[in-house]
Structure 1
Amino acid sequence: MTARTGMPMPDGIMTVYFITCHHSVAFVRDQFRFLYHPDHFYLYHVDAKAPEALHETVRRLARAFPNVEFLPSRHYAWAGYSQVRTTLDAIAWALTFASSWSHFVTLSEQHCPLRAPAEMAAELSSETSYLAAMPFAAMDPGGQADLVHRSSMDFRELPGVGSFGIDAIPPDPGFLARLHHGSNWYILSRQACVYLCEIVPSTPDVARFRQSVHADEDMIPTLLVQADGQAGLLDLRETTFVAWPHIIGNDSMTFRENDFFAASQDGSLFIRKRPPILPDPVAATLEQFAAFTEADLTAAIGEAPAAAPPIPDREGTSLARRVAGAVVRRGVGVRADLLNLRYRRRDPLFSLVFQTDGMPRDVEVRVLSQNLSDFRVLLLSTAPPAIDFVPLQVHGRMAHMLRVRSDDLFGYREILVPEDPAHGFWTRASDSNVIGLVRRIEFYIGVAESLVTGKAPRVARGTFAIAAREVAAFWRSARWTGRRLLRQRSRA
């Protein structure tokens, strides 16, 4: 395969493209053709929960091209600190293993370039980083409320799902005064990357960012603005055009033909998110940038792997039924809904809902997991979702808006359960025993029912109380099983 490299690269310029992928094989293949140049380096991270066809596509690229590498996959969560951690890992990898380079560019599979690779490289000044960074004080009241909420709680990440607030944190005026809001799409100079690797382990603000949501949009801009020149020069402008709803007039978040050409005229270097089918004029323009054709890429790495049908994960299915069955048997009038089975859902992979007649109708107990090892139990208010960052009282308890990107979670409110020292988090032991998770679910059902009775939920303390609780649960389970067997016999 002979690449059509187009313009020669400027002397001393080489770019590391760090590309995060989670869904589309077609997007990754197209983008690689549009961006490829032998003097650039391409570093990929594929979300652990991405389709196997996508993992295989990136593995093939790395085998076929010496300037392609991929990081070990981890569960990557929207708004989670895992995004920052993965980017910092990529920077460290590039500084350690890639040859001399001048700039580090963060992209997703949904980015399209607006210029040819060599033309973009020619626009980048040595030792200059390009990123948006708006001071907190300069933001409008709505934007400030958003940023305050991001650091208003101690957020803990559930791998592959998202971050959940476990306790309120008082506002820190000093931290907010230093805060700069940008995005996770930026171009960093090598000097800025070296600076970040040196200061991240010891900078006090980083600890606060680890507890926040959307640190991917705020941490690196904040740290670089405070660098006092040690990170090189900063050009505070956005280089990626994003098809926000207020720009394109709809909620699709995908760019249109006129957005592509307008962004190119305005000096942007990239645009996102791309539509599944590119408009013909856009596709023709991007093919002019391409180093090789789709047929050439197929000759190098093979046809796109066939996408597997979205079927429920067997292990997750078995585990969900096991947990749901145990909770139903041990309770009184407990109903379980296995959402990941009913909707053939894989994101999150494990999703259970529990309700009883003793709970408020607008409340449910939800259990989530993506890796089938780490779980989160939460008390969820099912009132219609709304983007409102102010904490509210729901049934007499504090509830805050969830920032988890899942259709049935985003914008809803979680009712805090301070009585639980684990804050709803539970990790499965190597012996696969789930009784600890079952007990935590039972406790949250008790808390939900206490919202109606007004009585404090019962907490078993001491060896005798815990043993008594387990004996009572055992007999409830035995009676439930016996009644079920009798019903089956009578029907036979």
Structure 2
Amino acid sequence: MDRGGIRLAYLILAHRLPRQLLWLLEAIYDPRDIFLIHVDLKSLLGLKAHRQGVWQAARRFAEGRPNVRLMRPRLTNWGGWSLTRLQLDAISELLDADPDWSHFINISGQCYPIRPLSEIRAALADAGGQVFVEMEPFSLDSPEEPGWHERWMIELPHRAIKLPWKRRSPTSFRLAHKGSQWCILPRAFCEWQRHAPVRRRITRFLRHGMISDELIFQALVDNGPYRERVAPHPAWEVVFPGPKVMTEADLPMLRASPAFFARKFDESADRAVLVALSQHIGARALPPSAVAAAGAAEISVREPERQGTA
């Protein structure tokens, strides 16, 4: 694919730390791309201090930027089907909103790029339609939580509950891999999965299981034409257990990584790593005095470079 034809469609999942969301937006915003931001409904209600201000920051950032859209807030729960359903619906919304983007990026509000956007676009152009999905065999299940994907789950409005009973393995499709929900998918994959007959069988099974968001894209890859088209390296750098909050001590590892993004970051824990990475990728650092509620209105987002590989 021509590098100039790479247009990105981001789904940004944000539920806490409004300033961290602004760090990300400042680093990745480009008028050529499309951004769909979802703020969890619990954050909109502001029931916890660290969740307050996220919706306001996202809304103010979107003002005057027609390529930044806010998704209707929903209640989502870690481990629940609600989070998976949200991501599938977001892909459909982005497909309907713009006919020309080339790649879908599912990203957290606490992620940050570790390579310049021009390099990310070039790498995606050279990838030839590969999917950047982590595919980890189930044989590598954590010894602390073996077979977590086999457990039944019920979801209440405020939480997902793991049940003690195991489920039978599916017989109508292959479920062999797990992995991170954070991924990069070419548009052709997104269009294929939207109407693929196997998707209904996969979603019918996963909607009652734990942590389906770490199974859905892996199952779609395993049961479709992209099984042999998985990128050889992950798009995210993540350190477990945790995931660990990145610090300045992680900079050598982050700079040497072939990944495009890393997770997770928290300015209140370590601002220096964000400042250093912003310089590394050519992004503007968020000033220390910015206030989350007003920061989006104060930030002057950089225009993209207009060279051929930008």
Using a 3 Å threshold, how does the CA distance of structure 1 residues 101 and 78 change in structure 2: closer, same or farther?
Answer: same
One-letter amino acid matched to 2:136: M
Equivalents in 2 of 1:99, 1:66: separation in Å? 15
Q: Find the aligned partners of 2:123 and 2:258 in 1 and give their Cα distance.
A: 10
* SS in structure 2 at match of 1:69: strand
Which of residues 159, 162, 165 in structure 2 aligns to 1:161? 159
Cross-structure match for 2:233: 237
- In 2 relative to 1, CA 141–43 (structure 1 residues): closer, same or farther, beyond 3 Å? closer
Structure 1 residues 161 and 217: alpha-carbon distance in aligned structure 2, compared to 1, 3 A threshold? same
Q: Which residue of 2 aligns with 1:193?
A: 190
38-47 or 119-128: which moved more? 119-128
Query: Any idea what the Cα deviations from partners look like across 1:363-411, whole Å, max 9, x if unmatched?
Result: xxxxxxxxxxxxxxxxxxxxxxxxxxxxxxxxxxxxxxxxxxxxxxxxx
SS at match of 1:26: helix
1:33-44 matched pairs, under 5 angstroms:
33-44=26-37
2:131 to 125, 129, 142: 129
Distance 1:283 1:291, change over 3 A: closer
1:33: Cα distance to partner?
0.7
Q: How does 1:73-472 map to 2 (within 5 A)?
A: 73-124=73-124, 125-136=127-138, 138-139=139-140, 142=143, 146=146, 148-153=147-152, 155-165=153-163, 168-172=165-169, 174=171, 178-199=175-196, 203-229=200-226, 233-245=229-241, 253-277=244-268, 278-280=270-272, 282-287=274-279, 289=281, 292=284, 294=286, 302-303=294-295
**What's the offset of the Cα at 1:86?**
0.7
Structure 2 regions of 5+ residues with no counterpart? 47-51, 298-310
Say if 1:130 and 1:46 are closer, same or farther in 2 by CA, change over 3 A: same
TM-score (norm 1): 0.52
1:233 Cα deviation after fit: 2.8
Residues 265 and 288 from structure 1, CA distance in 2 versus in 1: closer, same or farther, beyond 3 angstroms? closer
* Amino acid of the structure 1 residue aligned with 2:38: H
Distance change in 2, residues 1:289/1:264 (3 Å): closer
Alignment CA distance shift 1:224-1:252 (3 Å)? closer
Gaps of 5+ in 1: 1-8, 246-250, 306-492
Q: CA deviation at 1:253?
A: 2.1
Cα distance in structure 2, aligned partners of 1:68 and 1:290: 21
SS of equivalent residue, structure 1 residue 20: strand
Tell me which structure has the larger Cα radius of gyration: 1
The percent of aligned pairs where both chains have the same amino acid is 24
Please tell me the root mean square deviation across aligned C-alpha atoms, in Å: 2.9
189 and 232 in structure 1: CA distance in 2 versus 1, 3 angstrom threshold: farther
Decide whether the 8 Å contact of 1:151 with 1:211 is kept in 2: no
In structure 2, relative to structure 1, the CA distance for the partners of 1:66 and 1:253 (3 Å cut) is same
Query: 1:122 deviation in Å?
Result: 1.0
2:22 is aligned to 29
Displacement, 1:117?
Answer: 1.5
